[in-house]
Amino acid sequence: MQDEALIHALLLDGKGGASVLDWQGVKNWQPQDGVLWVHLDYSQPQSIEWLEQGADLNPVVTDALLTGETRPRAIRIDNGLLLALRGVNLNPGADPDDMVSIRLWVEPGRIISTRKRRLLSVTDVANELKAGQGPARTDEVLASLLSRLVARMSDTVDYFEDQVAEFEEQALEQQNAQMRAELGRVRRQIISLRRYLAPQREAISQLLSDRIDWFSRDVRLSFQETLDSLMRHVEDLDAVRERAAVTQEEIGNHLAEQMNSRMYVLSIVAAFFLPLGFLTGLLGINVGGIPGAENPLGFGVFIALLVLVCGLQIVWFRRKGWL
C-alpha cells in the first residue's frame, strides 16, 4: 500500500539533483533539510491520512488535493499556490482528448502533488532530478512541469490537424455518411480538449499576474513562454475545429444534394406514371361498358393513347424546366 500511495518523494539538493525518500523520510522532513517534493496517489488511504493529519495544510488545500474532478486553475493562498492542471493522456489505449489531472500545492520549501492516473510530464521531471540534471528550486520545478505539460500537447494538436487534413482530402474524392460521422467524432474530441486548455491558459496567466516574491525572473520568463505555446495550441485547435465544421458541412450539403437529386428523379418517374396508372386502372375494372372491349383494335388504340399522353407530359415538363 505504501508504494501505491507514495509515487515518489524527492529531497532537492539545490544543484539539480535529488535524493529519494520513503514515508518515514517524508514524515521526518523539516524545512531546513531542503525542498521536498511529494507526489501521491490521492485515492489511496495512506495518502489521504497523511494529507489530512500529517502534512500541516489548510483544510481548503487538503480538500483540493483530494478532489476527484478538477478544472484548471491557480489560486494564491497565503504564501503558497494551489494549482489544478491537465495534461494529455498518453497512456496506451487512451483517447487523445482524455486529459489527466494533477493537483499541486506549491510553497517556497515544499511541493505536494496528487494524481490518479500516470502523467508522463511528472515522470520526466522526477527522472531529471534523480539524474542530477533537474530544477534546483521550487519555482523551477513548477516551471519545468508546466513547460512539459504544454510541450506534450503539441503531438495531440498535430494529430487533430492531420486528421482534419485527411478528411478534407477524402471529401474531394468521396463523401458519405460514415465520413461525416467520423468527422463529427473528431470535432467532439477537439471541443473536449479545448475545454481544458482554455482555463489552463487562464491559470498560467494568473501565475504571471500575481506578484509572488519567490518566483525568479527566469521562471517568469519560462511561464511566459509556456503561456505563448499554450495560446498557440488553443488557436490551432480553434482553426482545426472551424476547418472540421466547414468540411462536415460540405459533406452534409453534398449528401443532401445527392438525396434531393434522387428524390427529383423518383418524382419525375412518379409524375410520368401517375396519369398512365390512372388510365390503366380505370379501363381495367371488371364491369360492363368498357370502351373497345369487343373491338380487336381496342388494345392498339389504347397503347397509342398512352404514348400520346407520355409525349404531352414530356412537352409540358420541358416547358416547366423540369427536364
| Spatial CB neighbours of 73, under 8 Å, sequence gap ≥ 6 | 82, 83, 84, 199, 202, 203, 206
Confidence band for 93, pLDDT divided at 50, 70 and 90 = low
Lowest model confidence (mean pLDDT) among 141-150, 221-230, 242-251: 242-251
Cell of 65: 488535493
Beta strands 36-41; 110-115: pairing state: parallel
Residue type, 13: D
d(CA 243, CA 249): 10
Grid coordinates belonging to 14: 539545490
Instruction: Assess whether pLDDT exceeds 80 at residue 170.
Output: no
pLDDT in tens, 6-55: 999 999 998 999 999 999 999 999 989 999 999 999 999 999 999 999 88
Classify burial at 291, counting beta carbons within 10 Å of its beta carbon; exposed 0-12, middle 13-18, buried 19 or more: exposed
Q: What is the rounded CA–CA span in Å between residue 23 and residue 13?
A: 19
pLDDT per residue as tens digits for the range 272-299: 788 888 777 777 776 666 776 677 777 7
- Mean pLDDT across the chain: 85
Residue 145 has pLDDT above 80, yes or no: yes
Angle between helices 217-283 and 177-209 (to 10 degrees): 160
* pLDDT over threshold 90, residue 181: no
Helix, strand or coil for residue 69? coil
Please say whether the dihedral angle defined by the alpha carbons of residues 142, 148, 149 and 151, taken in this order, is positive or negative.
positive
